[in-house]
Amino acid sequence: MIRDDISIPFDVQKIREDFPTLLRSVNGKDLVYFDNGATSQKPQVVIDAINDYYTNNNSNIHRGVHFLSQLATSQYEEARKIIQEYINAPLSEEVLFTKGTTDSINLVASSLGELFSEGDEIIISAMEHHSNIVPWQMLCERKGCILKVIPISESGELKMDEFDRLLSNKTKLVSVTHISNTLGTINPIEEIIKKTHAAGGYVMIDGAQSVQHIPVDVQALDCDFFAFSGHKVFGPTGVGILYGKKEILDQMPPYQGGGDMIAKVTFEKTTYNELPHKFEAGTPNISGGICLGTAISYLSEMDLSAIHAHEMELAAYAEEKLLQFEGMRIVGTAQRKTSVVSFVVDGIHPFDVGTLLDKQGIAVRTGHHCTQPLMDFYQIPGTIRASFAFYNTKEEIDVFIKALERSLNMLR
Ligand SMILES: *Cc1c(COP(=O)(O)O)cnc(C)c1O
């Protein structure tokens, strides 16, 4: 793992005060929340923004002439701009609101997929989340496309020479995760994007685990699509983002039909609205969109390099402590990783460990983490995963390690 040695002052105790859930107790113990890969906790500003929207500004958007409708519309569109700026998208209409990463990927698979034909190839990787596998399999069944998978090494890194072999002029799209939710691996997406474009294909990046940890600049990356979920970046559930290049989105047919996505409807023919509305049928999650903007504003006030350094320090500390246990195996030992630590212990089922940790107030995730093919590769039923956010501390890791020791002693 590459880790920064420079220690940047980072007031984690002060940051924790922004997150009320972190201050609660669970099963009589102070909560230790290490399940950030599944969802993040919300800062008070986001909770307040949700409350404020429903208390003061609730109204439907994009259609009303009245005051509240215009207010809600401008807040919603302002949020789109905040997000556009955060990922450095050239145009705000390239930033589509969706329900989340899963919905964003399904949008591309359904819509862009309509332009694919029999024999076209789609490449994913062996470490994808189910939501970046199943939509492509469904598309392959519908259209007769062929799904190819970039294999990984034991350390959990993509075999790039195998990728080179899979890539051809038949490749229509490569869809890979920026960062693995199970292993923490940071994939070489810059190289994947360059090579795929040279071969004439599109690239979609699943950014569900990246925007909250490392800077993302969609223009510098030059990816064609980039997806992430609000709830993993300290925002609400039920809202997410799909960034797509305008020239590609313009060629794509609508995903769903309904209100808002139309220009004119008659029973003979309907014409579609312009971007981004063409892909946003029906009343959206208005509060979700606005408050995702609040979450991104909150995040953008923080120093991402300080966040990264702090999270990497936590991960290194946790791994060092974990490796002192007998029979311990860290799953995912890539050179470039984020703050995800997955592990298994010889002869012990992950689920039992998770249950005993929960009794001690510690939230970790156990199981396949929606990456069953990856578990098959490692020939394990699942892992125990501690995934850290910037608000976690070394003291929490100490509590976790003690609790783990107690749990393993009970199970052995
Ligand atoms: C969480 C996650 C998803 C799915 O996100 P949803 O918010 O459940 O739609 C997809 N890919 C990765 C890598 C994830 O971590």
Digit-by-digit pLDDT tens for the chain (412 residues) are 444 445 556 899 999 999 999 999 999 999 999 999 999 999 999 999 999 999 999 999 988 899 999 999 999 999 999 999 999 999 999 999 999 999 999 999 999 999 999 999 999 999 999 999 999 999 999 999 999 999 999 999 999 999 999 999 999 999 999 999 999 999 999 999 999 999 999 999 999 999 999 999 999 999 999 999 999 999 999 999 999 999 999 999 999 999 999 999 999 999 999 999 999 999 999 999 999 999 999 999 999 999 999 999 999 999 999 999 999 999 999 999 999 999 999 999 999 999 999 999 999 999 999 999 999 999 999 999 999 999 999 999 999 999 999 999 999 8
| Cβ contact 121:170 at 8 Å | yes
Residue 70 lies in a domain: yes
Task: Identify whether residues 215 and 284 lie together within a single domain.
Answer: yes
| Cβ contact 271:209 at 8 Å | no
Q: Closest Cα to atom 2, ligand 1: which residue?
A: 208
| Cβ contact 322:328 at 8 Å | yes
What residues act catalytically? 370
Task: Identify whether residues 353 and 236 lie together within a single domain.
Answer: no
Dihedral over alpha carbons 403, 404, 406, 407 (to 10 degrees)? 120
Strands 25-26 and 29-30: antiparallel
Dist CA 252 CA 202 (whole Å)? 13
Token couple for 174: 């490569």
Task: Identify whether residues 123 and 153 lie together within a single domain.
Answer: yes
Task: Identify whether residues 214 and 345 lie together within a single domain.
Answer: no
Q: Which residues contact 193 (CB under 8 A, 6 or more apart)?
A: 203, 205, 221, 222, 223
The CATH number covering residue 329 comes to 3.90.1150.10
Task: Identify whether residues 125 and 98 lie together within a single domain.
Answer: yes
In short, whether 229's Cβ falls inside 6 Å of ligand 1 is yes
For tokens 């789109």, name the residue.
80
Cα 247 → chain centroid: 25
Question: Into how many domains does the chain fold?
Answer: 2
Instruction: For residue 177, report the distance from its CA to the centre of ligand 1, in Å.
Output: 10
0.85 cut: is pTM over it?
yes
- Pick the closest to residue 371 from 345, 342, 346 (CA basis): 342
Task: Identify whether residues 171 and 71 lie together within a single domain.
Answer: yes
Dist CA 252 CA 362 (whole Å)? 45
Task: Identify whether residues 272 and 372 lie together within a single domain.
Answer: no
- Our mutation pick for probing the ligand 1 site, out of 370, 372, 387, counting the most ligand atoms within 8 A of Cβ, is 370
Neighbours of 301 (CB within 10 A): 8
| Cβ contact 26:363 at 8 Å | yes
- Pick the closest to residue 111 from 229, 255, 248 (CA basis): 255
The CATH number covering residue 206 comes to 3.40.640.10
Dist CA 84 CA 147 (whole Å)? 31
b or e along 249-262 (b: 16 or more beta carbons within 10 Å of the residue's beta carbon)?
beebebbeeeebbb
- Our mutation pick for probing the ligand 1 site, out of 102, 124, 342, counting the most ligand atoms within 8 A of Cβ, is 102
Task: Identify whether residues 239 and 267 lie together within a single domain.
Answer: yes
Task: Identify whether residues 139 and 281 lie together within a single domain.
Answer: yes
Q: Domain range spanning residue 322?
A: 12-43+303-411
In short, whether 206's Cβ falls inside 6 Å of ligand 1 is yes
Task: Identify whether residues 189 and 211 lie together within a single domain.
Answer: yes
| Cβ contact 159:136 at 8 Å | no
